[in-house]
Amino acid sequence: MAATFLGTTGNWGITNDETGILINDLSFDYSNQEKTVLDKSGEIIGLALYQEKVEVKLSGLVKKTSPFAGKIGAALALANAMPAHLQAASGGTTIIKQISRALNNEDFEKIDITATHYPFVATGA
């Protein structure tokens, strides 16, 4: 049954399943490196922020038909939009870093994927 919304609410759930995955959980962790400029007293008077990236984590069930077949080091195309919290221009590539699959004799096959989005890396580079 679809959720019924009453009153003021936030966004609900995950918009789309990912290719080959019935998705249960999806998160985006934005980060960057920083370098400070100190004056003669050791106080921060300037700051450079660089090397933006997004760590993507998703969990779900492996689909019975057309299961996930991505490879470590390959690009990951996401069906769900990545929120626009980067300062960098839009674009880039999301690279698969880790895949975990779990089997159990009384449960569905599960999958966890960790990937990193690099905003200035072109696909196929």
* pLDDT single digits (tens) 75-114: 999 999 888 888 877 789 999 999 999 999 999 999 999 9
- pLDDT band at residue 124 under the 50/70/90 scheme: low
43-73 burial: b if 16+ Cβ within 10 Å, else e: eeeeeeeeebbbebebbbbbbeeeebebeee
Cα dist from 59 to 3, 68, 109, whole Å: 21, 12, 11
The pLDDT value given to residue 69: 94
Between 92 and 10, the more confident residue is: 92
Q: Give the model's confidence band at 1: pLDDT under 50 very low, under 70 low, under 90 confident, else very high.
A: low
Query: How many whole angstroms from its chain centre is CA 28?
Result: 4
pLDDT, one tens digit per residue, over 14-61 is 888 889 999 999 999 999 999 999 999 999 999 999 999 999 999 999
Q: What is the pLDDT of residue 15?
A: 84
